[in-house]
Structure 1
């Protein structure tokens, strides 16, 4: 069983402020050193000795800060998600929500292609996906999907749409990285992106179509903002909208 990391150590909560601050600085330095080694030499390059040397610390410091190498790799994965979220530009009111969807997808793929080893680690460490940064990234994606739904552009359920967008972006990166460089064709990325757009959006807003499904999805997206209904009424209304939204032509 792995020894606990500092974040789960009760003693950390009672450290003096100066000690805690210094510890966090050392921790961040180690994470950045490990991330740099990861990108330059792959996962095998991230040894406790190499990381400690790059960070200017002694190897035992790695174990005090992270428990073991697995704990360090989990922290690097969380660092990757934080770096990704920091790179995102979020337009709260895009002129064209479908172009905004394309831009968001392109940005996610570009991050993976620019940080291949880090990206691969991010999706191989389950603990990284529990981090606040990963959840923040998901919320940015959900907000894009919500805008599509509110405008009547969404062809499928919001949850399914988010899953398709996330899965196609991740699949595009990992597929690209798995190919020999001479065989990598940018047309593949464009085709995958457009397949994603076709899968989750309508060619024109569904609220202009005959039938209740598109209108139900659009109304459902704005339902949380309504204050004239009680919680019980909103819950019942959402159940009705869910049933109407599910009754669409595939």
Structure 2
């Protein structure tokens, strides 16, 4: 089991690697450059990650670990629709706090990188809270019947699209803060599923 210091060092190295990837692209990412950016020798970097592929896998895992933790921190309340919105807010906050990891998690920041089956499974698990949130809205009669996975996909597509626009500086100037536009988009995304009276 890794010590607290090893866990902290790995998180620091992952963040440095993500920064280098964001600033210089895949060609600017190497274990030696990550070690230099973090101010450590190359030995712990090679010990932790082995090679560049291992580093990318660790970055992918850490990004989804952070996303999963952000979503898990949203406490369920008696209002499932408010809880669903809170999950959307947590998703955006996780993306904004680790923007370069987000690009690796959901983009093609490193086209040749392919996460392992186990890492893909762990990533897919972060989608389940959204599906569960939709199912709770359906059970409460807030949303109409239907496959909660399909509704969740629609909601995630809107959230993901808005986050990508914001991270890439492509949100149109509409006289409102990015967070306000995001929350508004989430509201519009949910309207087709609201149960009719």
Same topology, TM > 0.5: yes
| 1:33 alignment partner in structure 2 | 13
In the superposition, the TM-score normalised over structure 1's length comes to 0.60
Please show how residues 1-250 of structure 1 align to structure 2 within 5 Å. 21=2, 26=6, 29-39=9-19, 42=22, 44=24, 46-53=29-36, 54=38, 56-58=40-42, 62-63=45-46, 65-88=48-71, 89-92=73-76, 94-124=77-107, 126-127=114-115, 130-132=120-122, 134-155=123-144, 156-179=146-169, 183=173, 185=176, 186=178, 187-202=180-195
Checking the alignment, whether the CA contact within 8 Å between 2:88 and 2:159 is kept in structure 1 is: yes
Shift of 1:63: 4.7
How much does 1:78 deviate? Answer: 0.8
Structure showing greater relative contact order (alpha-carbon pairs closer than 8 Å, 6 or more residues apart): 2
Secondary structure at the counterpart of residue 42 of structure 1 = helix
Distance 1:49 1:91, change over 3 A: same
Query: Structure 1's 41 and 71: CA in aligned 2 closer, same or farther, altered over 3 A?
Result: closer
SS at match of 1:179: coil
Matches of 2:121 and 2:15, distance apart in 1: 17
1:191-246 superposed Cα distances (whole Å, 9 cap, x missing partner): 32112111333255xxxxxxxxxxxxxxxxxxxxxxxxxxxxxxxxxxxxxxxxxx
Which whole-Å CA distance do the structure 2 matches of 1:29 and 1:131 have between them?
Answer: 25
Q: Aligned in 2, Cα 1:36/1:52: closer, same or farther, shift over 3 Å?
A: closer
What residue ranges of structure 2 are gaps of 5+ in the alignment?
Answer: 108-112
- Paired positions, count: 181
User: Which of structures 1 and 2 has the bigger CA Rg?
Assistant: 1
Aligned-partner Cα distance in 1 for 2:183–2:196 = 18
RMSD: 3.1
Q: CA deviation at 1:21?
A: 4.4
Task: Give the ranges of 4+ consecutive aligned residues of structure 1 lying more than 6 Å apart after TM superposition.
Answer: none
